[in-house]
Amino acid sequence: MEKYSQIIILGIAIGTLARIFMLRNDYRSYPSYPHGYVTHISLGVIAAALASIALPAIMEKEFTAVTFLTIAAQQFRDIRNMERETLSKLEERSLVPRGHDYIEGIAKTFEARNYLVMFVSLVTTGVAVFTDLWLGALSGLLAIVISGLLMRGKFVRDIAIVKPGNLHFNNSLLMVDNIVIMNVGLKSSQEKILKEGVGVIIHPKDDDARATLNNMGQRQAILHDVSALVGSKLEIGEPDWTPLLRKDIDTGKLALFIIPNEKDINCIIEAIYRTPVLESAEQKPLSSEIGRKASD
């Protein structure tokens, strides 16, 4: 086993590096406080270690060592549960919640990232066993880049165009362009909404996008991200300021209404663009024959 020690250490190092690299883009998905980092990096080290040992063990004809990988799978399923539980609990005290779909997406991502770490470590040790350490390290880094690209996911920017809308009242009905948002009874609230509120329209690019944006979880995710990035004046017991997304049933475009802390329409549009498209919300009617026929 002596000759493999360097390879195993390399595998663990590159795997851990992969986990740290993937933590980088967590700023919105999770309130990334130091302890969260520690938890995930430690689990990343464990994942890397498990995967790094696998190949050398097989080379030494220790076939039972592979069963360790099943323990890993079990272990990482618990991460999903852990994330889901934490985020769901935090949700109860949140004014603009993420919604279950978003939380499920985040939890799934956290689980999957550990499998990616194992993949990176396996590639690293695999190449290192059959060639040399340097090539192993290089291929490990390449695997990090590839997994990063593969796991990037889509954003609202890819499926929709966002434009400023005209926020106005039709008697007591608050509207963005021709889409009714809600009935606001108080004159004082109406004045404040007109002064400080912002309305934007999200135009889906095609029928796939329309179906995806139709998903309530996806809409809640957009509302959450916008409120998190530009702030919302919503307060307990004052539902008049609730940010809302409503659909034009004829065209599928969405109208978003929010009273932001900072009334900067470009930032709001950018915040919408940056919202991830949830895996569970994504629909592709156009990839079926019926969907394509119906759309023309």
Among residues 231 and 239, whose Cβ is nearest to another protein?
239
Q: State in angstroms the smallest separation of the CB of 188 from another protein.
A: 7
**Collapsed DSSP state (helix, strand, coil) of residue 71:** helix
Q: Are 262 and 198 contacting, i.e. CB atoms less than 8 angstroms apart?
A: no
Question: Is 287 an interacting residue with respect to another protein (CB under 8 A)?
Answer: no
Q: State in angstroms the smallest separation of the CB of 95 from another protein.
A: 12
- In the beta sheet, which residues pair with residue 151? none
Question: Is 240 an interacting residue with respect to another protein (CB under 8 A)?
Answer: yes
Question: Is 185 an interacting residue with respect to another protein (CB under 8 A)?
Answer: yes
Question: Is 89 an interacting residue with respect to another protein (CB under 8 A)?
Answer: no
Question: Is 293 an interacting residue with respect to another protein (CB under 8 A)?
Answer: no
Question: Is 93 an interacting residue with respect to another protein (CB under 8 A)?
Answer: no
- CA distances for 251 relative to 85, 155, 175, 246, 287, angstroms: 37, 21, 16, 12, 20
Query: What 3 state SS string does 233-266 have?
Result: CCECCEHHHCCEEEECCCCCCEEEEECCCCCCHH
- Pairwise CA distance, residues 203 & 213, whole Å: 9
- Pairwise CA distance, residues 74 & 63, whole Å: 19
Question: Is 61 an interacting residue with respect to another protein (CB under 8 A)?
Answer: no
Question: Is 237 an interacting residue with respect to another protein (CB under 8 A)?
Answer: yes
Among residues 188 and 287, whose Cβ is nearest to another protein?
188
Question: Is 172 an interacting residue with respect to another protein (CB under 8 A)?
Answer: yes
Q: State in angstroms the smallest separation of the CB of 170 from another protein.
A: 10
DSSP 168: E
Residue ranges in contact with another protein by CB under 8 A? 171-172, 182-189, 236-240
